[in-house]
């Protein structure tokens, strides 16, 4: 295997020093003034960029806590991509696999980071809905309801959408917190808190390979979850479908073949 050119060895040594200047020696031949400039620029860029990408996460940490988190990210994470827009995904991966928690860390740290990452990822997603054959005003029970590709559903242990410096829950909810993140026609990212049944309904709509109508999906769901009153579930499900259409979580309906 060929050796690295000497200038690449120099680059690797310089990068290792910038990531962890307290434990890695500076490369020889570079004056301290220049090193200090690069140390500050490198750290501050990540410090500010990640603070912008994770605004709530940043607000609930004081400056020493945030600096410690960013320094660990620099020290321990091997990024898979150089693109800035994918940096939040790298940061979430770091928090999940490599981060060494402190005693004062919040129990919802990873979930909040994932939620904020999902918001940003949805805002820049290049996916588009295929509206060919879609009736935006179609019958949601007799026809096939169609979920927007810009609507993503997640289940969390904590109410991450409500976390702020004034609300820092110490314990997880007794039941999962289901959230639909969606991007509307004005490219505004919004969320809708769901109950377990509505979350399950969105899931079966997304995986509706048999092209079942809305009513068929609701009847199947009632059987799956052993809902005692099928008629009531269909009634409530119809209201939920209509609300989701108004919010653009659904794009409309397709005809049943």
Say if residue 97 is in the same domain as residue 176: no
Say if residue 150 is in the same domain as residue 240: yes
CB atoms within 10 A of CB 254: 18
140 or 75, which is more confident? 140
Closest to 153 in 3D by CA, of 96, 193, 126, 107: 193
- At residue 183, the pLDDT reads 98
Say if residue 166 is in the same domain as residue 88: no
Say if residue 152 is in the same domain as residue 216: yes
Say if residue 149 is in the same domain as residue 215: yes
> Is 113 part of any domain?
no
Residue 152, beta-bridge partner list? 181
pTM: 0.88
Q: Which of 105, 130, 156 is the last residue of a domain?
A: 105
- At residue 42, the pLDDT reads 81
Phi, psi (5° rounding) for residue 222? -60, -40
Say if residue 89 is in the same domain as residue 29: yes
Distance, in Å, from the CA atom of 172 to the CA atom of 16, rounded to the nearest integer, reads: 39
Say if residue 79 is in the same domain as residue 161: no
Task: Give yes or no for residue 39 having a pLDDT over 80.
Answer: no
Per the listing, tokens 């321990």 go with 76
Judged on CB neighbours under 10 Å (0-12, 13-18, 19+), 78 is exposed
Q: Does residue 234 contact residue 218 with C-beta atoms inside 8 Å?
A: yes
Task: Identify the weakest region by mean pLDDT among 9-18, 46-55, 85-94, 174-183.
Answer: 9-18
Say if residue 238 is in the same domain as residue 150: yes
Distance, in Å, from the CA atom of 107 to the CA atom of 100, rounded to the nearest integer, reads: 13
CA angle, residues 91, 95, 97, in degrees to nearest 5: 110
Segment 151-166 shows an average pLDDT of: 98
> Is 247 part of any domain?
yes
Task: Give yes or no for residue 143 having a pLDDT over 80.
Answer: yes
Instruction: Look up the CATH number of the domain holding residue 238.
Output: 3.90.930.50
> Is 131 part of any domain?
no
Domain ranges, residue 167 = 144-254
> Is 138 part of any domain?
no
Q: Give residue 233's pLDDT band: very low, low, confident or very high (50, 70, 90).
A: very high
Distance, in Å, from the CA atom of 106 to the CA atom of 250, rounded to the nearest integer, reads: 35
Say if residue 95 is in the same domain as residue 24: yes
Q: Which of 48, 81, 105 is the last residue of a domain?
A: 105
Task: Give yes or no for residue 1 having a pLDDT over 50.
Answer: no
> Is 123 part of any domain?
no
Question: Which helix (H) or strand (E) is 186 found in, with range?
Answer: none
Say if residue 68 is in the same domain as residue 149: no
Closest to 87 in 3D by CA, of 114, 59, 117, 55: 117
Question: Which helix (H) or strand (E) is 144 found in, with range?
Answer: strand 144-147
**165-201: pLDDT as tens digits:** 999 999 999 999 999 999 999 999 999 999 999 999 9
> Is 117 part of any domain?
no
| Tokens (6 digits) for 202 | 């969105």
Say if residue 159 is in the same domain as residue 250: yes
Task: Give yes or no for residue 27 having a pLDDT over 80.
Answer: no
CB atoms within 10 A of CB 179: 21
**102-130: pLDDT as tens digits:** 899 999 999 999 999 999 999 999 999 99
Q: Give residue 24's pLDDT band: very low, low, confident or very high (50, 70, 90).
A: low
Domain count, the chain: 2
Say if residue 149 is in the same domain as residue 250: yes
| Mean pLDDT (the chain, rounded) | 90
88 or 12, which is more confident? 88
């Amino acid at each position: 295997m060929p050796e690295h050119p000497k200038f690449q060895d120099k680059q690797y040594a310089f990068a290792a020093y910038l990531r962890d200047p307290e434990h890695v020696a500076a490369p020889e031949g570079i004056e301290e003034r220049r090193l200090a400039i690069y140390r500050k620029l490198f750290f501050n860029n990540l410090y500010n960029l990640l603070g912008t990408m994770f605004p709530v996460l940043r607000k609930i940490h004081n400056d020493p806590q945030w600096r410690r988190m960013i320094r660990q990210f620099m020290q321990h994470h091997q990024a898979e991509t150089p693109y800035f827009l994918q940096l939040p995904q790298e940061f979430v991966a770091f928090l999940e696999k490599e981060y060494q928690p402190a005693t004062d860390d919040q129990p919802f740290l990873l979930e909040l980071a994932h939620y904020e990452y999902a918001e940003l990822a949805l805002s820049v997603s290049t996916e588009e809905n295929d509206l060919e054959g879609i009736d935006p005003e179609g019958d949601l029970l007799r026809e096939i309801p169609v979920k927007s590709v810009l609507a993503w559903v997640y289940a969390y242990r904590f109410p991450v959408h409500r976390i702020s410096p004034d609300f820092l829950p110490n314990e997880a909810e007794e039941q999962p917190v289901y959230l639909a993140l969606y991007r509307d026609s004005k490219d505004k990212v919004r969320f809708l808190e769901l109950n377990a049944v509505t979350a399950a309904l969105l899931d079966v709509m997304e995986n509706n390979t048999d092209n079942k109508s809305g009513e068929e999906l609701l009847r199947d769901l009632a059987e799956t979850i052993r809902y005692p009153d099928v008629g009531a579930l269909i009634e409530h499900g119809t209201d939920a479908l209509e609300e989701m259409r108004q919010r653009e979580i659904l794009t409309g309906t397709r005809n049943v073949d």
